[in-house]
Amino acid sequence: MVTFLASIILLVVGYLVYSKVVERVFGINDETPTPAYTNQDPIDYAPMSWWKGNLIQLLNIAGLGPIFGAVSGALYGPVAFIWIVIGCLFAGAVHDYFSGMLSLRHNGAQFPSLVGRYLGDGMRRIINIVSIVLMILVAAAFTAGPAQLIAQITPLSFSVALAVIFLYFIAAAVLPINRIIGRIYPFLGAILLFMAAAIGVALLFSDHSIPNLTLQNLHPEELPIWPLLMVTISCGAISGFHSTQSPIIARTLKRESDGRKVFYGAMVLEGVIALIWAAAGMTFFGNTGGLQEALAAGGPSGVVNEISTSLLGTLGGILAILGVIILPITTGDTALRSSRMMLAELLGKLMKGTGRKGILLALIPVAIPTVYLATIDYSFLWRYVGATNQLVATVMLWTGAMYLLREGKWHWLCGVPALFMTGVVSTYIFYAPEGFALPYQLSLLIGGAITLLTACWYARKILLAHRHSANNSSQTAA
């Protein structure tokens, strides 16, 4: 229990201290008009209060991610607490802040455009495809899961439930942001926080004993912590999906100083939610072996339902249903909205002046594959979401590092976590079953080699930036 409470305190203190460091390094200016005013339109650009932005951002980036991922990551034991705290404060929240604030600085630009500006046009083309694929996978997964549960507890068939959810997705993706998202999502975000807080308090006062810190790998199948834990618990630590969602809220900020509370703050809240559910997962079933049996029997949704109803009774059952059905839907629809915005930005001039008709046209290329993928194996979707998600996160951190390097600022803020995530992703791709499925030791060697090559590229960029700065100083002096 001490480790759990200390982890929550560290997240709160980290927000109060490190978020201000991040903000100072980035450099804000509240005198600069934000895109919410300079680009105001009837669909995506609309000024919104920071607290609404924070709750909407939390709901967009979270959904069931920090719940299902944390419960699965709890199989590794209390070491999951370490990853959530360190990953959230020094990687995930930094990632979210820069993805949101760089978008704000560039008129609400989407993630691929930011990548192109700071990592080159070749990388932009690649990440455009990867990002849209990630959006389709997330939207499909967050349609299939709720549809399956609706079919189980209501007379509706899976196909009908799928159709109803997807019709809502389309409406939410094309309507003005302040019509549905701005009005309803702050309330749903508050429900997500209340659900986690209720579980946390009930757990503390229950007969269950939350385990304290141990670096021992407690996974029943002895799966390696590196890099699997860092991919299993992404939401709550660091998730590339967030970089595709941040531009939605970047287009609504009233002032630049709101960014710390909205982007960094929402990520820390998600970290707290992940800590609570990781603690519940590794505690409620006695040990990680019991958790694995529960996951095998009912999956993450069954585990969440059992924990909620046991600890909170009828209220817990209601919260579980709300969580497993409503929360993933609210993440899936913003995934579809993001992919629509990315395509509109990618097509550029072709979309200019087409209005709502153009918005619907941009939705078609992502809507069709999303509907198809929602009908296939749910576990298959999640396997590929994990790898794609963390690849996008790594690229976003490198984008932030190159921005800081170009501006002559403390680039290590993004550079160090970017190198760490490069090692995670490169090793995971070669080791995981959905990747090359190579032996673990060989995957470590290849992942290490790729990380070393990336470090050399980074060192060269630093050297060139210093030379450029020195040349400019010499010319100015002359």
Q: How many CB atoms lie within 10 A of CB 176?
A: 14
What would the mean pLDDT of 377-405 be, rounded to a whole number? 85
Q: What is the pLDDT of residue 166?
A: 80
What would the mean pLDDT of 125-138 be, rounded to a whole number? 82
Q: Which carries the bigger pLDDT value, residue 337 or residue 39? A: 39
Q: What is the pLDDT of residue 382?
A: 65
Q: Which carries the bigger pLDDT value, residue 399 or residue 193? A: 399
Average pLDDT, the chain: 87
What would the mean pLDDT of 306-329 be, rounded to a whole number? 79
pTM exceeds 0.85, yes or no: yes
Helix (H, G, I), strand (E, B) or coil at 331: helix
The residues, any chain, with a CB within 8 Å of residue 79's CB and separated by 6 or more, are 213, 214, 215, 216, 217, 218, 225, 229
Distance CA 458, CA 101 (A): 23
**Domain contains 137:** yes
Which amino acid appears at position 28 of this protein? I
pLDDT band at 464 (very low <50, low <70, confident <90, very high): very high
**Domain contains 275:** yes
Q: Whole domain around residue 172: which residue ranges?
A: 2-393
Q: What is the pLDDT of residue 348?
A: 62
Task: Record the tokens describing residue 260, joined without a space.
Answer: 């710390």
Q: What is the pLDDT of residue 322?
A: 72
Question: For residues 320 and 305, is the Cβ–Cβ distance under 8 A?
Answer: yes
Tens-place pLDDT, residues 145-179? 778 777 777 788 888 888 888 888 777 777 787 77
pLDDT band at 229 (very low <50, low <70, confident <90, very high): very high
Question: For residues 195 and 58, is the Cβ–Cβ distance under 8 A?
Answer: no
Distance CA 23, CA 339 (A): 28
Distance CA 412, CA 419 (A): 10
* Domain tally, the chain: 1
Helix (H) or strand (E) holding 443: helix 440-477
What would the mean pLDDT of 399-413 be, rounded to a whole number? 96
**Domain contains 117:** yes
CATH for 146: 1.20.1740.10
Tens-place pLDDT, residues 268-317? 999 999 999 999 999 999 899 999 999 998 878 788 888 888 888 887 77
Distance CA 293, CA 233 (A): 19
What would the mean pLDDT of 255-280 be, rounded to a whole number? 96
Distance CA 18, CA 394 (A): 20
What sign does the CA torsion over 462, 14, 251, 328 have? positive
**Domain contains 455:** no
Phi-psi region of 47 (alpha: psi -120 to 50; beta: other; left: phi over 0): beta
Using a pLDDT cut of 70, give the percent of the chain over it: 91
What would the mean pLDDT of 19-41 be, rounded to a whole number? 95
Q: What is the pLDDT of residue 340?
A: 72
**Domain contains 164:** yes
Tens-place pLDDT, residues 55-65? 999 988 886 77
Tell whether the model's pLDDT for residue 260 goes beyond 70: yes
Q: Which carries the bigger pLDDT value, residue 391 or residue 209? A: 391
Task: Please name the residue that has the structure tokens 């707290």.
Answer: 272
Q: What is the pLDDT of residue 337?
A: 77
The residues, any chain, with a CB within 8 Å of residue 226's CB and separated by 6 or more, are 424, 427
**Domain contains 445:** no
Q: Which carries the bigger pLDDT value, residue 342 or residue 18? A: 18
Distance CA 181, CA 183 (A): 6
Phi-psi region of 353 (alpha: psi -120 to 50; beta: other; left: phi over 0): left
Q: What is the pLDDT of residue 377?
A: 63
Task: Record the tokens describing residue 230, joined without a space.
Answer: 């860092």
CB contact burial 85-120 (16+ within 10 A = b; e otherwise): bbbbbbbbbbbbbbbbbbbbbeebbbbbbbbbbbbe
**Domain contains 450:** no
The residues, any chain, with a CB within 8 Å of residue 340's CB and separated by 6 or more, are 173, 174, 359, 362, 363, 366
Q: Which carries the bigger pLDDT value, residue 67 or residue 15? A: 15
Question: For residues 386 and 73, is the Cβ–Cβ distance under 8 A?
Answer: no
Q: What is the pLDDT of residue 354?
A: 47
**CA 47 vs CA 35, 196, 253, 343, 345: distances in Å:** 9, 29, 6, 23, 21
**CA 1 vs CA 6, 77, 151, 162: distances in Å:** 8, 13, 38, 41
Question: For residues 109 and 410, is the Cβ–Cβ distance under 8 A?
Answer: no
Using a pLDDT cut of 90, give the percent of the chain over it: 51
Tell whether the model's pLDDT for residue 355 goes beyond 60: no
Lowest pLDDT segment from 122-131, 269-278, 419-428, 467-476: 467-476
